[in-house]
Each structure stands twice: as C-alpha cells, then as structure tokens.
Amino acid sequence: MPRRALALAVTLVALAGCGGGTPPVEKAEGTVTVKGQPAAGALVVFHPRDAGRENDPKPVATVRDDGTFILTTFADGDGAPAGEYG
C-alpha cells in the first residue's frame, strides 16, 4: 500500500476510535478502468451523499494491478458503512 494511502488509513482508524464506536460496515469492492485498462495505483475515495455525514470517515482503497479494489473504512478491507456515495 502506498505511504499516502497507509497514512490515510491509519488516520481513519485513529479518528474512528474517537466518539464511542464505529458504525457497521459491509464488504464493498469494485473495478476501475480507464479506456478499458486497469487504473492500477489509483486512490478511490467514497464520499457520503448525505450532507449530515460529511465529517464521517471516508471509505478508501488503492486500485490493484488488475483494476480491482476493496474498500477500507476502519480496518484493512472491512468495507463501507451502508449508504449512498458519490
């Protein structure tokens, strides 16, 4: 995992420890391509559409060589809280 993504993940985990618990998460994965080719190394960040959740931790992932990713919110590969993301 690139250093920036790792630092972000560590920050998210630290922030999640504040405020008395974390919401349940669901496994979330996908594929990112650009012009039909895997977007290897791209950083994926999901932002909640609900304006009341703008300060929630953002699920993130780094796209693998084959174009796939698995979101992380609180622990490596745990997924994302249920909701709509944009």
Q: How high is the pLDDT of residue 16?
A: 47
Q: 53: which DSSP letter?
A: G
Q: 29: which DSSP letter?
A: E
Helix (H) / strand (E) element for 2: namely none
What is the reported pTM? 0.73
Pick from 1, 81, 14: which is nearest to 43 by CA? 1
* pLDDT tens over the chain, length 86 residues: 555 554 445 445 544 445 568 899 999 999 999 999 999 999 999 999 999 998 999 999 999 999 999 999 999 999 999 999 98
The total of other beta-carbon atoms located within 10 Å of residue 30's CB is 13
Q: How high is the pLDDT of residue 3?
A: 54
Q: How high is the pLDDT of residue 10?
A: 47
